């Protein structure tokens, strides 16, 4: 598949072509990663953020948000719950902070979770841009995957959706540092942003390949009314939903052996969004295991689903949904990206591989 073909598929409204795309992506998924879905229980533990991204509901300038941070004890309790349920791994996500108190807070939590679960619970972090030293401290404390979305591979578009002074190059630098340290590196984009073209999205897929990315977490952009981007001309949710599914399928066909998440943003736009994501080529689901009392304050976008369902309800609802499409859940396994091991073992010439 070349760039023009990717653009044609993103543009097409032809239902037969779209169904063929999903079918092909599903076949490739079965060949390369099987039909086992891995869970990453996500704990969205704080909405305190030092950044002001124009699309995000918890940006620091949104004064309507009540700011919270879970205690270390509560985060550890939620992690242990995931472990006891047989979820192979968790994701710790929050707004971006890089002060020493925060760095140490995370480090201590990682050490404690690793100790209490005898090193068996896999931990992914999604805590934004940090220094090499911080990434390294957290890696040494037990995190082994990091998710840092590039948001868009196009520098100009990146500028338009972030405040002055934001630095696309630093985002790239962070991805490189994560790879060097030894993390499994995850990235992704928002799909259907204002100003975004089909060509931008095709370039995003090429970017994932060029950067040898191990895991992809991308989803439709969804408007949050209290953000600067809300006043712009936005696509309909249906358009962004379909583009989101097509991007998953294209990424699966183009990259083959990476882990791809069916993100919650898909489910926000369609009650069956995550199942459709799995059927379009995704193999990872991130059940929300944040205690219910915090969820309403972690609204990156509007209409986030499952705000009032506790983690146990999420689990049984998900199990039913996954068996309804004939897939199984990989309990008690990390479900690492096969691509990561190939990248490590391939002996690729270093200069050709941005993440080495
Ligand atoms: N602060 C960290 C992690 C939390 S935000 C960071 O920014 O990396 C996690 C992701 O939520 C972001 O990378 C962004 O892609 C996504 N996001 C934020 N606002 C969104 C919106 N309005 N619609 C869809 N996704 C959004
Ligand atoms: Fe903060 Fe992340 Fe939202 Fe940007 S996307 S404002 S860094 S939480």
Closest residue by CA, ligand 2 atom 3:
56
Q: Is 302 touching ligand 1 by the criterion CB < 6 Å? A: no
pLDDT in tens, 62-117: 999 999 999 999 999 999 999 999 999 999 999 999 999 999 999 999 999 999 99
As a whole number of angstroms, the distance between CA 180 and CA 159 comes to: 26
Q: Which residue has the higher pLDDT, 346 or 34?
A: 34
Higher pLDDT, 201 or 322: 201
Distance 249 CA to ligand 2 centre (A): 26
**Gap from CA of 48 to ligand 2 centroid (Å):** 9
| Atom 8 of ligand 2: nearest residue by CA position | 95
Res 34 pLDDT > 60: yes
Residue 112 has which token pair? 């404690």
Burial class (CB in 10 A: 0-12, 13-18, 19+), 276: buried
Ligand approaching nearest to the C-alpha of 151: 1
**Which atom of ligand 1 is the closest one to the Cα of 218?**
15
Evaluate: CB of 278 within 6 angstroms of ligand 1: no
Is ligand 1 within 6 A of the CB of residue 224? yes
Q: What is the mean pLDDT of residues 207-222?
A: 96
What is the structure's pLDDT at 352? 56
pLDDT per position as a tens digit, 239-274: 999 999 999 999 999 999 999 999 989 989 998 899
Q: Which neighbouring-strand residues pair with 147?
A: 186
pLDDT at residue 355 above 70? no
pLDDT in tens, 145-182: 999 999 999 999 999 999 998 999 999 999 999 999 99
190 CB within 6 A, ligand 1: yes
pLDDT, residue 350, reads 52
Q: Report how far ligand 1's centroid is from the alpha carbon of 92 (Å).
A: 13
> Strand 284-285 to strand 328-329: parallel, antiparallel, or no bridges (unpaired)?
unpaired
User: In 3D, which of 217, 261, 219, 225 has the Cα closest to residue 242?
Assistant: 219
Is 235 a pocket residue for ligand 1 (Cβ < 6 Å)? no
When pLDDT is averaged across residues 41-49 and rounded to a whole number, the result is: 97
Query: How many C-beta atoms surround the C-beta of residue 17 within 10 A?
Result: 11
Q: Give the distance (Å) from ligand 1 centre to CA of residue 300.
A: 6
Q: What is the pLDDT of residue 286?
A: 92
Is residue 104 helix, strand or coil?
Answer: helix
Band of residue 1 on the pLDDT scale cut at 50, 70, 90? confident
116 CA distance to ligand 2 centroid (A)? Answer: 30
pLDDT band at residue 321 under the 50/70/90 scheme: confident
Pocket of ligand 2 (CB under 6 A): 49, 51, 53, 56, 58-59, 95-96, 128, 300
Ligand 1 within 6 A of CB of 339: no
Q: Is 128 in the pocket of ligand 1 (CB under 6 A)?
A: yes
Give the CA distances from residue 152 to residues 71, 97, 160, 220, 278, in Å, rounded to whole numbers and listed in that order: 33, 22, 11, 12, 23
Query: Does the beta carbon of 252 lie inside 6 Å of ligand 1?
Result: no
pLDDT at 31: 96
Pocket residue to mutate for ligand 2, from 128, 148, 170, most atoms within 8 A of Cβ: 128
User: Which position has the higher pLDDT, 13 or 337?
Assistant: 13
Report the nearest-CA residue for atom 18 of ligand 1.
56
In this structure, of 25-34, 188-197, 302-311, the range with the lowest mean pLDDT score is 302-311
Percent of the chain with pLDDT over 90: 79
Decide: 129 in ligand 1 pocket, CB within 6 A: no
Q: Is 350 exposed, middle or buried (0-12, 13-18, 19+ CB in 10 A)?
A: exposed
With contact defined as beta carbons under 8 Å apart, do 284 and 258 qualify?
no
Write down the mean pLDDT value for the chain: 93
Lowest-pLDDT range of 151-160, 219-228, 309-318: 309-318
What share of the chain has pLDDT > 70, as a percent?
96
Question: Which DSSP letter does residue 235 get?
Answer: -
Residues whose CB is less than 8 angstroms from the CB of residue 228 and which lie 6 or more positions away in sequence, other chains included: 54
| Nearest residue by C-alpha to atom 10 in ligand 1 | 149
Site of tokens 């944040």? 290
Band the pLDDT of 199: cuts 50, 70, 90: very high
What burial class does residue 151 get, using C-beta atoms within 10 Å of its C-beta: 0-12 exposed, 13-18 middle, 19+ buried? buried
Q: What is the pLDDT of residue 353?
A: 57
- Burial (Cβ within 10 Å: 0-12, 13-18, ≥19) of residue 204: buried
């Amino acid at each position: 598949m070349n760039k023009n073909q990717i653009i044609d598929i993103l543009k097409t409204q032809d239902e037969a072509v779209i169904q063929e795309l999903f079918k092909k992506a599903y076949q490739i998924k079965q060949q390369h990663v099987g039909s086992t879905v891995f869970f990453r229980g996500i704990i969205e533990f704080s909405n305190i953020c030092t950044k002001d991204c124009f699309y995000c509901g918890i940006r620091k300038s949104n004064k309507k948000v009540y700011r919270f941070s879970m205690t270390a004890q509560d985060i550890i309790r939620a992690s242990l719950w995931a472990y006891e349920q047989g979820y192979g791994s968790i994701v710790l996500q929050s707004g971006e902070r890089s002060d020493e108190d925060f760095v140490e807070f995370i480090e201590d939590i990682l050490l404690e979770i690793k100790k209490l679960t005898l090193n068996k619970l896999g931990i992914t972090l999604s805590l934004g841009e940090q220094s090499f030293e911080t990434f390294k401290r957290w890696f040494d404390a037990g995190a082994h995957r990091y998710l840092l979305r590039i948001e868009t591979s196009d520098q100009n578009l990146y500028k338009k959706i972030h405040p002055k002074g934001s630095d696309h190059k630093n985002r790239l630098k962070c991805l490189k540092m994560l790879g060097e340290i030894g993390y499994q590196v995850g990235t992704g984009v928002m799909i259907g942003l204002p100003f975004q073209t089909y060509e931008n999205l095709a370039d995003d897929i090429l970017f994932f390949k060029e950067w040898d990315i191990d895991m992809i977490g991308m989803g439709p952009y969804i408007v949050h009314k209290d953000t600067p981007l809300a006043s712009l001309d936005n696509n309909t949710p249906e358009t962004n939903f379909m583009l989101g599914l097509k991007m998953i399928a294209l990424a699966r066909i183009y990259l083959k052996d990476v882990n791809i998440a069916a993100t919650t943003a898909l489910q926000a736009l369609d009650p069956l969004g995550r199942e459709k994501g799995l059927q379009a080529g995704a193999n990872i689901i991130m059940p929300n295991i944040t205690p219910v009392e915090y969820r309403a304050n972690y609204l990156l976008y509007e209409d986030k689903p499952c705000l009032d369902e506790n983690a146990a309800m999420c689990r049984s609802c998900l199990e039913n949904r996954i068996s309804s499409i004939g897939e199984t859940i990989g309990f008690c396994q990390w479900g690492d990206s096969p691509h990561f091991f190939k990248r490590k073992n391939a002996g690729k010439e270093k200069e050709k591989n941005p993440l080495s």
